Amino acid sequence: MSPRVPAANVRLKRAYEPAAPEDGVRVLVDRLWPRGVSKANAALDHWMKDIAPSTELRSWFGHDPVRWDEFQRLYTAELHQHTELIEQLRVLARKGPITLVYSAHDEAHNDAVVLRGALLEPRSRTRKESASVSVKGTAHVRQNVSTHQS
């Protein structure tokens, strides 16, 4: 099992805030590019669109704090489908600071918060176990999102 990621090495920052040297490696974790932000001003090292919540889940959540608990659960299940990307971020964070860049206005209820939590969790499953969870989890996520749509 790989060593844990130091919590201080995984930071969160809105895409609309200026980049700073202490950000370390800056990774945009949204599926959509932040409105009104130029590539130069974003100062990103990576854009990991595929680690963002599915379009279906993002649309259902709509940054509604009432749906936060369910969003966290569903997005965490989706993250099990992206173990390679999670591991890439963990490797970067073990080497030094990384900043997960997001565009949501709500700094407490957004996908980067959930992703940070996933990065800081120790890896408790083997890849084979994670793959089996993701296959079962995919239908479950879609079913729950459909069930919860208003």
The pLDDT of 120-124, averaged and rounded, is 76
d(CA 78, CA 70): 12
- Report pLDDT for 73: 98
| Structural tokens at position 98 | 């990384």
- Of 119, 84, 135, 113, which is closest to residue 13 (Cα–Cα)? 113
- For residues 12 and 26, give the distance between their C-alpha atoms in angstroms, rounded to a whole number: 9
Mean pLDDT of the chain: 86
Of the chain, the percentage scoring pLDDT greater than 70 comes to 80
Answer yes or no: pTM beyond 0.85: no
